[in-house]
Each structure stands twice: as C-alpha cells, then as structure tokens.
Amino acid sequence: MIELLYEEILPTIELEHKWLFTASIEKKLAEPYPVQVAWVDSVRRLYPAQYGKCKYKVGKENFTRQSLEYIKETSVGMVGR
C-alpha cells in the first residue's frame, strides 16, 4: 500500500503536503508498523479519493480470505475486540 501511495499520490501532491513524502520509500518501508499505519492514515485523510483508488487496487490483488478479513478489521479498528 505504501509503495502504491508513493507511486500514485506523490507526483500530484499539493505543496503544503510535501512533508508527507520527505522520507524515501525505502525509509518509509523500514519504519515500525504503527508509524506506517499512522502515515497511511494521514494520507487517507488528506487525499481520500486517491487513497480509495489505491485501496481498491490493493483489494484486487490475490489475498487469502484470512488476509482480507484482517484488512477489513484493521480498516475499521476492530482488531483485538
């Protein structure tokens, strides 16, 4: 998802949001998972339409049923409940 957001959103990002993409993609992928989730959420809030397109593309990939359920649960904050 992070790679796709970099590919899709970075080329069209507004100047005031450039701070979201100051780290290289390699550094972003090496960050701890909670930091990555917070970053993706920031992108989602600022660019909901583009995020939705990226999420749709990720959803079209071949996931197992278990992986899809995990993604659905985490997107609505239900993990661990």
Give the type of residue at 74: T
Whole-model pTM: value is 0.69
| Helix, strand, coil tally for the chain in percent (to 5) | 75, 0, 25
Tell me how far apart the alpha carbons of residues 60 and 62 are, in angstroms, rounded to a whole number.
7
pLDDT at 57: 84
Record the tokens describing residue 58, joined without a space: 């990720």
SS3 20: helix
Please give the C-alpha separations between residue 55 and each of 21, 69, 81, in angstroms, as whole numbers.
18, 14, 24
pLDDT higher than threshold 70 for residue 5: yes
35-60 confidence digits (pLDDT tens): 999 999 999 999 999 999 888 888 77
**Residue 63 pLDDT exceeds 60:** no
At a CB cut-off of 8 Å and minimum separation 6, what does 63 contact?
71
